[in-house]
Amino acid sequence: NKRDFQFNVVNCDAIITASLPNYILECDDLSVLFQNNSSGGTFYEWDFGDGVYSTEVSPTHVYPDTGVYFAVLIANPGWPCADTAYSTVNVYPGMTANYEYITACADSDLFFTDLSVSINGDITNWNWNFGDGNVSQSQNSEHAYTTGGYYSVTLTTINDKGCVDVTFQNIYVYPKPQIDFSTAEPCVNNSIDFDNLTTLDSGSVVSWLWDMGGLYSDSTEDISYYFDSVGFYDVTLSAVSSFGCINTYTQTIYIKPLPISEAGPDTIICSGDAITIGTSVLSGHTYDWTPLTGLSNPFVSAPTVSVINDTTFVVSTNYVVTTTYDGCTSTDNVSIGVFPEISASIPYQSEQCFPDNKFFFDANGVYGPNATFEWDFGDGVGVSISDTVSYSYSDTGSFNVTLTIRDNDCESTTSIITKVYDVPIATFDFESQVGCKPFTVVFNAWSQGGNIADSQLVYIWDFGDGDSAFTQTTSHTYDPEGTYIPSLTIKLGVCEGYEEMTKYDTVTVLPSPTAGIIVNPNQGSIYNPIINIIDVSDGADDCYLVVVPGDTLEFCDYEHNYFDPTLPYDETVSYDITQIVTNSYGCSDTITVSIDILPEYIFFAPNCFTPNQDGMNELFLGKGYGIIDFEMYIYDRWGDMVFKTNSLKEGWDGRVNGGKEKAQQDVYVYIVNIVDIYQKQHKVVGRVSLID
């Protein structure tokens, strides 16, 4: 049969392009998502190659079975310029990657067994990633981890169809005990503590084993061991965890020698003496002495020891030195005994006087029954070996008495000063024996005895009027008149039993007149300036009166006018009145009395003046006293002010208009405002006639 076909060929612009992946592999299931990558198309037609069609843009199609299918995509089907694309679709689901493993301890092999399944096709590749940076391509693999813990192990499988599957598991590797230990300073002949510092991330350590360099083994967690020789030793510690993991650690330690400690030989010393113990210092060594009793420094190699023993028996102290070098220590000890303290003393000796002196000395203090004594009395002559002795000096002076006591080869020395004086001889003088009452006499005392300092003497004055004094130099005032017999006693307190040496002399006190005046009144004023002066002196033969400076009167009853016209009296004026009286013995007395002349306020002014150039009454001005502020105004009959001034010394000359014209003859009114010395204000109004 024949058939006719007609083909129409037209020109198409390539604006419609059908496109999809040319190869599709689906390994999970029978469902395939078709990705439409076309451009320019507006509607589509799919042929999935299994007799099924679709017009969706990007459809999902479920194939009925595995196999190879050829899919067709037409963009804008039926159009003259439609476009077609093709893809080969491989559908092979059913491959699953899987494995199992047996865990182990770190540094031991873990075995991984492949359990993967491929229903369609055979598995051709296995890729293992053990999570610690190591990989393998074997189907079944083994791997050892350096440390315990969790790791993510991934298996990737590929079959001959090109399908890939991945699985992973978080596996746990048992950790090994991380063994470590530390020691104190490893010194020979010392018990050394080994501190177990082992750690384990999980589980527990169920057994331990120590090996001390082949010398000793122990299964405890911590251990102490005693090495008796210097040298290097390998110390090993092994541990087994509850998971059966084993680890071992070996540390080489050096057992160091001990430093040499030398405290010195035992000895007995005297109380208060110092002795050096120990030995010379060694470089790098440190020292520590105990107890601290009597030690000069507990941290040096050779300290000094000095102990006071105030008991009656030997006191011993055991001193221990701990010497340290390079972390190792050693000790040594020394016993220091101390004899009971010997303490010599001499009782105080009072000073005595020559020649009848006799001192009694006792050997006091602390010492034993076998003690010996040695005295030196300091005069180059006397010595003694008795515990109690008396001694007299053949001369005056100060003597250093020394006592030495010896016991158990220990000794104590002490000394005191004894003094022997000459007997004091009292002497004194004074400037004058006769004087007017009240008569003050200065007394000065001294002793004529030698070898006696004035400061050592006691002075006792009796002034003959019941008063006394006790200093070497003194003064005394006598009153009333009469004759007095002063005396001086000088004592040297140590010269008890000797007669007091006394010198007597006389003091005559002459009668003195008594000045006296009465002033009446005792206060005056410029209105009443006359003062009466009345003599009330007693016992005077002559009397003199000074009423003003430079004016002396030879009588004492007087009346005096104290007004001074040259003074302004704007304040109180004071005067001193002095009376001088004498008697026939030449004795005198003086008295001074002060009086005040009080200021008073007063103002006055004339009632007329004649400014006619005849030289008389030319000015109108006021006068007054006790004025501290002043102002004056003058007015004519019409009330016009013709003159003004603020000074008492400035008057009106009868002219007006600034002095250009002469005022007419008339009666004028003046007003004066005044403040007096007592701050009191006054206003004075008056009239004055100007007469031409």
Helix, strand or coil for residue 129? strand
Distance CA(157)–CA(179), nearest Å, equals: 41
Range in 560-569, 601-610, 615-624 the model is least confident about: 560-569
Is residue 286's pLDDT more than 90? yes
CB 278 within 8 A of CB 296: no
Radius of gyration of the chain, Cα coordinates, nearest whole angstrom = 71
At 520, the amino acid letter reads: N
CA-wise closest residue to 17 among 57, 75, 70? 75
- Residue 235: strand pairing partners: 212, 251
Cα-flanking dihedrals φ and ψ of residue 231, to 5°?
155, -175
Share of the chain above pLDDT 70, in %: 95
Is residue 454's pLDDT more than 90? no
Residue 201 in tokens: 């991330």
CB 455 within 8 A of CB 435: no
Chain-centre distance for alpha carbon 617: 91
Average the pLDDT over 153-166 and give the result. 94
Distance CA(325)–CA(496), nearest Å, equals: 73
Q: Tell me what pLDDT residue 480 has.
A: 85
Helix, strand or coil for residue 492? coil
Average the pLDDT over 379-402 and give the result. 90
Chain-centre distance for alpha carbon 412: 47
Average per-residue pLDDT in the chain? 89
CB 418 within 8 A of CB 391: no
Q: Is 100 left (phi over 0), alpha (psi -120 to 50) or beta?
A: beta
Cα-flanking dihedrals φ and ψ of residue 366, to 5°?
-120, 125
CB 595 within 8 A of CB 517: no
Q: Tell me what pLDDT residue 597 has.
A: 85
CA-wise closest residue to 448 among 420, 427, 430? 427
Q: How many CA atoms does the CB half-sphere of 498 hold within 13 Å?
A: 22
Range in 262-271, 432-441, 679-688 the model is least confident about: 432-441
Give me the sign of the Cα torsion angle 374, 377, 383, 389: negative
Omega of the bond prior to 529 within 30 degrees of 0, cis? no
Label the pairing between strands 681-690 and 666-676: antiparallel
Label the pairing between strands 343-345 and 274-276: unpaired
Q: Tell me what pLDDT residue 455 has.
A: 63
DSSP states along 534-556 = EE--BS-SEEEEEEETTEEES-S
Cα-flanking dihedrals φ and ψ of residue 301, to 5°?
-75, -30
Q: Tell me what pLDDT residue 382 has.
A: 83
Cα-flanking dihedrals φ and ψ of residue 464, to 5°?
80, 0
Is residue 90's pLDDT more than 90? yes
Q: Tell me what pLDDT residue 638 has.
A: 93
Kindly report the three-state secondary structure assignment for every residue of 183-212: ECCCECCCEEEEEECCECCCCCEEEEEEEE
Q: Tell me what pLDDT residue 43 has.
A: 93
Distance CA(178)–CA(197), nearest Å, equals: 9
Which domains are seen in the chain, by residue range? 23-91 (2.60.40.10), 95-173 (2.60.40.10), 181-255 (2.60.40.10), 267-338 (2.60.40), 343-421 (2.60.40.10), 426-510 (2.60.40.10), 517-598 (2.60.40.10), 602-690 (2.60.40)
CA-wise closest residue to 107 among 140, 154, 149? 149
Is residue 140's pLDDT more than 90? yes
Q: Which residues of 333-367 are buried (b: 16+ CB within 10 A; e: fewer)?
A: ebebebbbbbbbebeebebbbbeebebebebbbbb
Distance CA(510)–CA(376), nearest Å, equals: 62
Is residue 366's pLDDT more than 90? no
Distance CA(411)–CA(343), nearest Å, equals: 8
Is residue 9's pLDDT more than 70? no
Distance CA(324)–CA(215), nearest Å, equals: 27
Kindly report the three-state secondary structure assignment for every residue of 229-245: CCEEEEEEEEEEECCCC
DSSP states along 626-668 = SEEEEEEEEE-TTS-EEEEES-TT--B-SEETTTTEEPPSEEE
pLDDT tens figures, 643-684:
999 998 999 999 999 888 999 999 999 999 999 888 899 999
Distance CA(86)–CA(19), nearest Å, equals: 8
Q: Tell me what pLDDT residue 6 has.
A: 62
Range in 386-400, 439-453, 664-678 the model is least confident about: 439-453
Average the pLDDT over 249-259 and give the result. 93
Residue 571 in tokens: 């304040």
Distance CA(476)–CA(460), nearest Å, equals: 13
pTM: 0.42
Cα-flanking dihedrals φ and ψ of residue 616, to 5°?
-125, 135
Q: Tell me what pLDDT residue 498 has.
A: 36
Is residue 1's pLDDT more than 70? no
Residue 573 in tokens: 């004026």
Dmax over Cα atoms in the chain, in whole Å? 206
Q: Tell me what pLDDT residue 683 has.
A: 94
Q: Tell me what pLDDT residue 144 has.
A: 95
DSSP states along 565-613 = TTS--SS-EEEEEEEEEE-TTS-EEEEEEEEEEE---EEE--SEE--SS
Q: How confident is the model at residue 499 (pLDDT cuts 50, 70, 90)?
A: very low
Is residue 490's pLDDT more than 70? yes
Out of 64-73, 475-484, 557-566, give the one with best mean pLDDT.
Answer: 64-73
Average the pLDDT over 157-182 and give the result. 94
pLDDT tens figures, 533-549:
999 999 888 999 998 77
Is residue 497's pLDDT more than 50? no
Q: How confident is the model at residue 453 (pLDDT cuts 50, 70, 90)?
A: low
Contacts of residue 486, Cβ cutoff 8 Å, sequence gap at least 6? 441, 443, 461, 462, 463, 464, 476, 504, 505, 506, 507
Q: How confident is the model at residue 500 (pLDDT cuts 50, 70, 90)?
A: very low
Strands, E assignment, 312-409: 315-325, 328-338, 343-345, 352-353, 359-362, 364-366, 372-376, 383-384, 388-391, 397-407
End-to-end Cα distance, the chain: 189
Distance CA(675)–CA(360), nearest Å, equals: 95
Is residue 501's pLDDT more than 60? no
Distance CA(562)–CA(528), nearest Å, equals: 9
Residue 459 in tokens: 């002075």
Q: How confident is the model at residue 588 (pLDDT cuts 50, 70, 90)?
A: very high
Helix and strand element counts for the chain (H, E): 0, 65
Average the pLDDT over 352-380 and give the result. 88
Q: Tell me what pLDDT residue 570 has.
A: 72
At 559, the amino acid letter reads: E
